[in-house]
Amino acid sequence: MQKRILGGTNYEVSVVGLGGIPIQRVDKSTAVDIIREALNQGMNFIDTARGYTISEELIGQGLQIVGREKFILATKSMVRTYEGMLEEVKTSLQNLKTEYIDLYQLHNVRTMEDFKFVMSEEGALRALKELKEQGIIGEIGISSHGVEVLEAAIDSGEFATIQFPYNAVERQGEPLFEKAKKKNIGVIIMKPLAGGAIRNGEQAIRFILENSNVSVVIPGIDSVEQVVENAKPGIDELPLTSEDREKLEAEATSLGTQFCRRCGYCAPCTIGIDIPNNFIFDSYYTRYNLQEWATNRFKSLSPWAKDCTECGECEKRCPYDLPIINMLKEVASHYDF
């Protein structure tokens, strides 16, 4: 597995790491198998978060068996206050069954108002800086879906890493990554498959790794098979062919910009609609000519798109500012039951 230095840290990270969002869906045995195979494939970087339900706990159990010292471990929290962050780190240490965390990140800082608060005397950054001085965390990072926020984070000089979505569809971060590289700040790439919307994962990851400003890409993984598949672009270093590029560009064009990345931040729906799955199933209906398959899946959902009460809570939480209510109406219009 190729390795790159993570910005100004001393961490030499595998160019493909383990994204911890979907691991919350598996059992302990599978989690251990995933982490063991990640090590076998040369991955040494794991990224998770307090917000990913039991992801930290499962990874912690896996690291106990496979070996904590073999990985550079990153997690993050959406808590914004000083006191709250001290408690969050304590919980992360317990969940991950470790005495230290290599990289702790401010998670999904959405607005400049949020950014200014976390940077204030009462904000979460002060807690992380104190914990770094104590040797409890190694480095401090920040994740966001907003370019403006990460521009400010880079300029502040307070962060060793930034984390941002990047793939063949979403390329708005490229100037940001160049700026980060010049300031010796590590660049962690989330959503490399646009939340699963891009179907050819191997080519999607190769596209990202061609950008020398990127430090590590963290595709979400919930099976041993996915570990092997996602590791391959980081091992064999094959460049994209012209045919590969044409396929990726065609897929990116077909997706446009208004699509769900399956981040799950819209949840919970006030009446229990599984919003991401509604969009996923409908993509098979509209883009992949699998109408019968999608229709059968929709019949198993309750409640589903047509039951939306238009309360708007999901739209407030969506980091991409998607018009979820109208998108659910569009989904419902495709079916006559």
Degrees to nearest 5, angle at CA 16 with 243 and 143: 105
CB contact set of 173 (below 8 Å; sequence gap of 6+): 147, 150, 164, 165, 166
Q: What is the pLDDT of residue 3?
A: 98
Closest CA to 41 of 272, 219, 277, 190: 219
Instruction: Kindly report, residue by residue over 51-84, the tens digit of the pLDDT.
Output: 888 999 999 999 999 999 999 999 999 999 999 9
Q: Which ranges in the chain belong to alpha helices (H)?
A: 28-40, 55-66, 82-96, 112-118, 124-133, 147-156, 174-182, 201-209, 224-236, 242-255, 275-286, 291-299, 313-317, 324-333
Q: Are 113 and 85 in contact (CB under 8 A)?
A: no
- The catalytic residue among 11, 52, 82, 320 is 52
H or E element that contains 104: strand 101-106
How high is the pLDDT of residue 255? Answer: 78
- Inter-residue contact 166 to 208 (CB < 8 Å): yes
Q: Which residues of the chain have pLDDT under 50?
A: none
Which domains can be identified in the chain, with CATH numbers?
A: 3-248 (3.20.20.100), 275-333 (no CATH)
- Summarize pLDDT for 1-58 with one digit per residue, the tens: 999 999 999 899 999 999 998 898 899 999 999 999 999 999 999 999 998 889 999 9
CB distance 44 to 15 below 8 Å? no
CA 126, CA 282: separation in Å to the nearest integer?
44
Q: Are 21 and 220 in contact (CB under 8 A)?
A: yes
pLDDT at 288: 62
Largest CA distance in the chain: 61
52 given a catalytic annotation? yes
What's the token pair of residue 151? 């521009």
The SS3 of residue 243 is helix
Beta bridge partners of 76: 105
